[in-house]
Structure 1
Amino acid sequence: MPKRILQPDWALPDNVGAAFTTRQFGNVAAHVNDDPAGVVLRRRRLIRELAIARPVAYLAQQHTRIVSTWPVIQTPSDGIIADQPGAACAVLTADCLPLLLCSRDGQQIAAVHAGWRGLASGILSRAVAQMPTSPAQLMLWIGPAICQNCFQVGDDVRDSFLTALGDVAVNRHFSADQDRWRADLPGLAEHQARVLGIASITQSGLCTSCRSDQFYSYRRHKDCGRFASIIWRKS
């Protein structure tokens, strides 16, 4: 039986927790034509099952490069950073990248939603820049997202990353597919993180499209829910 809530294979400080939900847990997004009462109940159940002390901060995600600082949530925003005990931050995805960040001392956490637009426009670099911790002291988890084999894109996407990351990243993480391209979104995120100075990077290795039985995938089913990736400070 598939698990409803999973924990990343990611070594974290004792005072920090992280988890991500699956399709079996149910949709936790309020913007996908689901019953609002059902979404609220699932969000409350998630807090109880993870024993999180405070309500989880969810974002109004719109593929921006705006980063909020907990507990003040800007609308819209696609990233959130926090440094207070009890803070809990989440992003909702269904093919886009969920990126969780934590400082080695467990004082700083962040959650970032990065589709190709957000990643190319610098949402990850903006979040890292707003964290007071040196990038060398940060750890990054790259959660379930669409893999290169499943992510077919046009020249516009490749050109955006040429501008943002340059030839080396594009040549390594794009492969030709007749008149289209296959883009390695998790690989592009890792490349950008290493350029920023983050050395400790953990890839989930899970594809939302390949595993649409386990995760929601917008590319496979446009009318779908979203799963949550959450990071929180226990103390």
Structure 2
Amino acid sequence: MNVSSQPDGIIVPDWELPPNVHAAVTTRAFGNLAVHVGDDPAAVLLRRRVLQRSLALPTAVTWLQQQHTHRVLHWPFQSAIADAAYSDSPESVCAVLTADCLPILCCSDDGREIAAVHAGWRGLADGVLKSALASFKTPATQIRVWIGPSIGASVFEVGDDVRDAFVARHPSNVEYFLAHSSKWLADLASIAADECLRAGVKNITKSDECTVRNNTRWYSWRKEKAAARFASIIWRN
């Protein structure tokens, strides 16, 4: 992934955005941002405050209670069970936490609408990305999408249940599964990109970063079986 560096383990995706919209991703060098598991809660809360200050965010992040649903919260919102956040308001922030699942950031070409999506295979198969894109008033042809670091196609081994869920959703998804012993290797990022194309989105940027193979930079649940998470954030002024 081509990135421009920021201090303290924060990077800016190589993704063209309108002047009033900004995006950033934390790395494991910044530290775990999942307050509910695995780390000292006080340390995580401090990192969250440092993140807000380092990025000069217009407001504090409202962190979602992610549970692999297809639910989308619309700004302004309070923390609740959801796996996507959408806003068409100035001075707003949308963010998700991941460690192998897809972090997906979305923005309208005019910079008026933004969204952040947490898409594990269950949420993606259940329509969380489709629901987030449907929240936009802007036509899909005027939405740009960034698909961030996630478990890569060469290591994401799944069973028939996962393949069947995606093929049932759309037959063309069969091409994103490669037979591997008695299982399948799944290309989750390409499935998400194809979902965007079917919705009418043309401007899609993929990071092509694998969290498992590059776990010196990213947290990976499959590699480490640890609960730490990195953040993908989009905000508008």
Deviation at 1:161, TM superposition (A): 0.2
Report 1:1-235 matches (<5 A): 4-73=9-78, 75-166=80-171, 168-170=172-174, 172-234=175-237
Structure 1 stretches of at least 4 aligned residues deviating more than 3 Å after TM superposition: none
- 1:68–1:74: 8 Å Cα contact kept in structure 2? no
Aligned length: 232
2:47 and 2:112 map into 1 onto residues whose CA distance is 28
**1-structure distance, mates of 2:16, 2:38:** 36
Mapped to 2, the partners of 1:176 and 1:88 lie a distance apart of 40
Q: Could you list the per-position Cα deviations for residues 151-209 of structure 1 after superposition, in whole angstroms to 9, with x for gaps in the alignment? A: 0000000000011121x222x21100011000000010001110000000000111100
Structure 2 unaligned blocks of 5 or more: none
SS in 1 for 2:224: coil
Deviation at 1:224? Answer: 3.3
Q: CA deviation at 1:57?
A: 2.0
TM-score, length basis structure 1 = 0.96
1:72 deviates by 1.6
Unpaired stretches in structure 1, ≥5 consecutive residues = none
State how far apart, in whole Å, the 2-side matches of 1:154 and 1:84 are: 41
**Structure 1 residue 114: deviation in Å?**
0.1
3-state SS in 2 of match to 1:220: helix
Tell me, in whole angstroms, the C-alpha distance in 2 between the residues paired with 1:196 and 1:124: 10
For residues 191 and 127 of structure 2, what CA distance do their matches in structure 1 show?
12
* SS across alignment from 2:39: coil
Aligned letter for 1:216? Y
Structure 2: how far apart are the matches of 1:3 and 1:207?
21
Amino acid at match of 2:197: R
| Identical-residue share of aligned pairs (%) | 51
- SS at 1:131 equivalent: coil
Indicate the larger mover: 180-189 or 216-225: 216-225
Per-residue CA deviation, residues 31-73 of structure 1 (Å, 9 max, x unaligned), is 2221111111101101111111210121000000000001124
Counterpart of 2:182 in structure 1: which amino acid? D
